[in-house]
Amino acid sequence: MPASVKGAVKLRKSLRQFSPDLAKALPKEIGAALKPITRAARGYLPDDGQVLSGWIARENSQSRFPAYNARLVKAGISYKTTPSKPNRSGFRSLARVFNKTAAGAIYETMGRKTPQSRFVQNQNSKYSSQMKGDKKMEGRALFRAYDENNGKARDAVLKAIQGAADKLNQRAKA
């Protein structure tokens, strides 16, 4: 689940300005905390033979629905440690795990709103996967990996941010 950290963007700016070595170390620590989630999420994605045959790319196909390619979908799972742009409510994401591909996003969220749809039932009968999480934070790969991480990544990110702030304050006092 998301955690609220106030002043983290200002901290990163201060780190870049006054302590570049800490500014370089912070994203590395955050990335180390997020790597296990991305690795686990890639493992939850099905291979090409485990998805419905109509979802695999075909030659001479004119369809607009994104084709599932396991190699591309697994490579599309990544993380970022840079702050995002503020959303409508003014919140920013300091670290996030995401999937770049449309087919991966469809697989992640299929069945969230309509679990009884034919597409979802056919896919579940071919490759049984679990939805984990709550409401808008429910999914089959990324949210499942995050849910099974039991907050270890979130705690490690918060600890890295707090540790960088403490080191910067110690250097400022000296």
**Residue range 129-165, pLDDT digits in tens:** 778 877 777 888 998 999 899 889 999 999 998 999 8
Predicted pLDDT of residue 2: 66
Question: Which helix (H) or strand (E) covers residue 77, if one does?
Answer: strand 77-80
Predicted pLDDT of residue 74: 95
- 118: in domain: yes
Of the listed ranges 16-20, 30-34, 121-125, 147-151, the least confidently predicted one is: 121-125
Predicted pLDDT of residue 14: 85
Domain range for residue 63? Answer: 12-173
Question: What is d(CA 45, CA 13) in angstroms, rounded to the nearest whole number?
Answer: 37
Of the listed ranges 15-24, 74-83, 121-130, the least confidently predicted one is: 121-130
- 94: in domain: yes
Question: What is d(CA 5, CA 9) in angstroms, rounded to the nearest whole number?
Answer: 9
Average pLDDT taken over every residue of the chain = 87
- 151: in domain: yes
- 36: in domain: yes
- 7: in domain: no
Count of CB atoms situated within 10 Å of the CB of 88: 5
Predicted pLDDT of residue 30: 94
Question: What is d(CA 111, CA 114) in angstroms, rounded to the nearest whole number?
Answer: 5
Q: How many domains does the chain have?
A: 1
pTM beyond 0.85: no
Predicted pLDDT of residue 81: 92
Helix (H, G, I), strand (E, B) or coil at 132: strand
- 6: in domain: no
Query: Nearest-CA neighbor of 22 among 163, 174, 173, 141?
Result: 163
- 17: in domain: yes
Question: What is d(CA 150, CA 161) in angstroms, rounded to the nearest whole number?
Answer: 19
- 55: in domain: yes
